Structure 1
Amino acid sequence: MTAILLLLHLLGATIWTGGHLVLAVTILPRVLKDRDVASLHWFEQGYERLGMPALLVQIITGLWLAWQKLPSLALWFDPGAGPIAELVRLKLMLLLLTILVAAHARFRVIPRLSPATLPLMGWHIVAMTLISVAFVATGLSFRVSWGI
């Protein structure tokens, strides 16, 4: 069961992080250069149908995997519970940041999106991309030591 959960979690991470990397590296520069709000809306509408379910899969499987590693919520928040608990807390913090950035973009930036507000949306896209890469790096830390 753990292998299936991990596979679903990794597939969700691939879709979520990969989509944001494509957006940030290939689409966003062109959108900002051309001040092309329509292209950003086009990408967002297509990506959301796959990206949001992928994020939901990540949240569900991530919590389930965390529960398998530490089957007590108290341990998740205990500073003395060890490195696995630290990684779980970091993942939860990244999830909170994801929710905050996404909510701000969805409810404050996107409804007012115009050529003038594209740079603000760009910052949201870059922030979400960096957060999602941090999610992947943190997830990898459950399996490998960075040797730093």
Structure 2
Amino acid sequence: MLFKILVILHSLGATVWAGGHLLLAVTVLPQALKNREPDRIRQFEQYFEGFGLSALLLQVMTGLGLTWIYLPGFRNFWLFDSFLSVYIGIKLALLLLTLILALHSRFFLIPKLSEENLNFLTLHIVAVTTLAVLFVIFGAGIRLGGLT
């Protein structure tokens, strides 16, 4: 039963995280770029940040729980000798890249957001959205027994 609850919570977190970034990238960002209005992005970030980060934290916690179930005691995880350990390793690398981009954006780009650096923030948004979609793809791969 614990496994099923963790999968459901992990999936809900992924829905919020990936869905929020897709919404930002596909609806808010194009309008902000078209009208050169960085405040549209700032406003979205203001509303989404707490909810989105909570969803990401939920994914991290449930992901660790699921990893413990799949690989008890994280045994043989670092050998990367199965699709499971490889996919989990990829998801951890995606998480690290996401955190780096999110911290850079939060502390260096958003506070100074203007028409001049809007294009640079666009690269961040596209990158984080791509990483979020990759999280979903590799998560599905874990549940499906691999993607090959």
Q: Is the structural similarity TM-score above 0.5?
A: yes
Q: Does 1:24 align with 2:56?
A: no
Residue of structure 2 in register with 1:119 after alignment: 119
Alignment RMSD (CA, Å): 1.3
The structure carrying a bigger helix percent of its residues is 2
Residue of structure 1 in register with 2:70 after alignment: 69
* Residue 39 of structure 1: how far off its partner (Å): 1.1
* 1:10-21 equivalences in 2 (<5 Å): 10-21=11-22
Q: Structure 1 residues 23 and 59 mapped into 2: Cα distance closer, same or farther (>3 Å)?
A: same
Give the TM-score normalised by the residue count of structure 1.
0.94
Q: Secondary structure at the match of 2:143?
A: coil
Give the TM-score normalised by the residue count of structure 2.
0.94
Q: Structure 1 residues 7 and 44 mapped into 2: Cα distance closer, same or farther (>3 Å)?
A: same
Residue of structure 1 in register with 2:136 after alignment: 136
* 1:49-88 equivalences in 2 (<5 Å): 49-73=50-74, 75-80=76-81, 82-88=82-88
Q: Does 1:36 align with 2:37?
A: yes
**How far, CA to CA, are the matches of 2:101 and 2:11 in structure 1?**
22
**How far, CA to CA, are the matches of 1:143 and 1:110 in structure 2?**
36
Q: How many residues align?
A: 147
